[in-house]
Structure 1
Amino acid sequence: MSIDVKQLADRYLAQWNEPDPAARSALIREVWAPDAVHVLVDPPQEIRDAAAALAVPAPPLEVHGHAALEARVGRAYEMFVASGEHVFTAGEPTVLLPNVIAIRWSMVTTGGGEAVGGGVDVLSLDPSGRILTDRQFIAP
């Protein structure tokens, strides 16, 4: 793979921590293909419970395209990072297959670096190194 996966992983992570909406939008448009899909594979328990109450299996949650990605990443920033209490960090990306990488990440406290959440994202890339699909698995 001729793509610099470390640089891609750094830019991918930066979008989740970016406070400026215009800079975040620019990162998304740089890192993601225009028709990209982000899939939250295992939704939070309250979503699974609501689906079960309707006798519907909990589906993965998906967003498609740059505008939806901006809303998704922006909302995650507001919920988890904007308060200044947490930041997202990541380890070294792992190349799984040509054009498929995994990024293991954590949400840590800014005061002490204690992990309070995390997961792994499996990214499939187009030939130019932009994300086509992101399957996000959040650790319980």
Structure 2
Amino acid sequence: MSDLDELARRYLATWNERDPVRRRALVRELWAEDAGYVDPIVTAEGRGAVEDVVATAQRQFPDLVYRLAGSVDGHHHIARLTWELAPVDGLPVIIGFAVLVTEHARLRRVYGFLDPVPAPEPGVARWHLTR
């Protein structure tokens, strides 16, 4: 397994982890303390905010899993991957594309693209989290 494949595996494992304690540990292992995440519906600054975004996605899509859709490629300290959010044995509900920027073997920034863009939680037009 290449370093890029391992990075993608760990990234998606974070999004799939249902246990809050284990998920927190995965985020702390993979993401830099001042990491940032941005996609069409959320901006998160800081490891704690990233953890909140992942927990929110778990609540919003409790019966779905994130899985790699294709190969991972990259250069220097940047990787890109396509993923799917789907039932374990089903067709994807959302297809996403992520650009992962690393620094010292940790995620520094992640830029996400979603198709289709899901509606945020009721009453929230767009999330911006800082922690």
In structure 1, the partner of 2:120 is none
Q: Which runs of 5+ in 2 are unaligned?
A: 117-131
**CA offsets 1:54-94 (integer angstroms, 9 cap, x no match):** xxxxxxx41111111111100101111x2x3x111013211
Q: Which has the larger radius of gyration?
A: 1
Does the 8 Å contact 2:36/2:47 carry over to 1? Answer: no
Report matched runs for 1:14-33 at 5 Å. Answer: 14-33=13-32
> TM-score of the superposition, structure 1-length normalised?
0.76
Amino acid at match of 2:58: Y
Task: Please give the alpha-carbon distance, in whole angstroms, between the structure 1 residues aligned to 2:115 and 2:78.
Answer: 20
Deviation at 1:113, TM superposition (A): 2.1
Q: Which runs of 5+ in 1 are unaligned?
A: 44-60
Report matched runs for 1:96-135 at 5 Å. Answer: 97-110=75-88, 112-126=89-103, 128-135=104-111
Choose between structure 1 and 2: higher strand proportion.
Answer: 2
> TM-score of the superposition, structure 2-length normalised?
0.81
In structure 2, the partner of 1:54 is none
Task: Please give the alpha-carbon distance, in whole angstroms, between the structure 2 residues aligned to 1:103 and 1:34.
Answer: 23
In structure 2, the partner of 1:38 is 37
Name segments (4+ residues, structure 1) moved above 2 Å. Answer: none
